Structure 1
Amino acid sequence: MTDFTPSLNDYPYQVELTTRLEDNDENGYINNVTFYSFFDTAVSRFLQTHCPSIGESTNITTYVVSSQCQYISPASYPEAIFVGVRVAKIGRSSVTYGLSVYAGESQRRVAHGQFVHVYVDKMTDNAVPIPADIKEALASNMEEF
């Protein structure tokens, strides 16, 4: 266990997102399920930027097989949201992303978690090895805390 708390700048890839009024719950805070949407959007943008060949493959897709989020402090609309993305682990057919969500001008850390993709053959729904070019792109964005 470490006492290290990463800042947004510690992540090799960052996304800025805009909150919406409908993201708030009845207490006036961003609803917990919305954080998973932030994770999904950030990972999707990361892949579009660093692994564009995923979309080019007609027979391979990715499935989210695991996700988790730990909440640190509340955030509310209309605060800006910043998501830091790092590749935490690369397996034979899966990749684990580490993510942190920061809010507001001060970019205070409000949540962190993990998101796991498995590479799957579209026809058989069986896990397949991560294609070499994608694995190389993922490895070049790997960060360990």
Structure 2
Amino acid sequence: MEKRRPVRADYPHLLEIPTRWSDNDVYAHVNNVVYYSFFDTVVARWLLGSGALHLQDSPVIGLVVETGCRFMGPIAFPDLVTAGLRVARLGNTSVRYEIGIFRNAEEAASAEGHFIHVYVDRATQKIPTPLPQALRDALAPLVVTPQPGSVAG
């Protein structure tokens, strides 16, 4: 069964990220590792912008324990990327973020991916810690029911 290609409307938050010349690889398209940077960027910008994450002193931090990406179309400099963000699962100590990567004004995603943060105590970085209420509140607008045939489905 072929998976449904995500569209912009599948994501409650969209962030434009310009590509850079250095993002291209020898095949003249954005290298796959750069997509993971787009994932990190859209999540970090949401968390920092909402006030739910403070880089220097948040008592809990999210550690990435799983990632994945499905590529469906090329992107190359000087394309403008739009990263769509949603939360597919908001657990007690973890969050599953799902990201769609869109090229220029295209409605269908060029890539879709996910990563899971397990939140831990900053000092030990070992003990899973319940998500603080401020983090839950910040992520609530992003929570969606996964679409049939999506990476989460």
TM over 0.5: yes
Secondary structure of the residue aligned to 1:112 is: strand
Partner residue of 2:144? 143
Cα distance in structure 2, aligned partners of 1:87 and 1:103: 21
1:39 — aligned with what? 39
2:70 paired residue number? 70
- Matched position secondary structure for 2:117: strand
Measure the CA separation in 1 of the matches of 2:59 and 2:106.
Answer: 43
Structure 2 counterpart of 1:33, which letter? V
Closer/same/farther in 2, CA of residues 22 and 107 from structure 1, 3 Å limit? farther
Question: 1:98 matched to which residue of 2?
Answer: 98
Residue 54 (structure 2) aligns with: 55
Three-state SS of the structure 2 residue aligned to 1:109 is coil
Residue identity (%): 35
Count the aligned residue pairs.
144
Q: Which string of whole-angstrom CA distances, capped at 9 and with x for unpartnered residues, describes residues 23-49 of structure 1?
A: 001010100000000000011111123
* Alpha-carbon contact 1:83-1:99 (below 8 Å) kept: yes
8 Å Cα contact 2:12/2:141 also seen in 1 = no
CA gap 1:2/1:86 in 2 versus in 1, 3 angstroms: farther
When structure 1 is superposed on structure 2, of 76-85 and 99-108 the one drifting more is 99-108
Task: Report what 2:151 is aligned to.
Answer: none
Question: Which sections of structure 1, spanning at least 5 residues, go unmatched?
Answer: none
Post-superposition Cα deviations, 1:44-72, rounded to whole Å, max 9, x if no partner, equal: 1111233x132185421111111111111
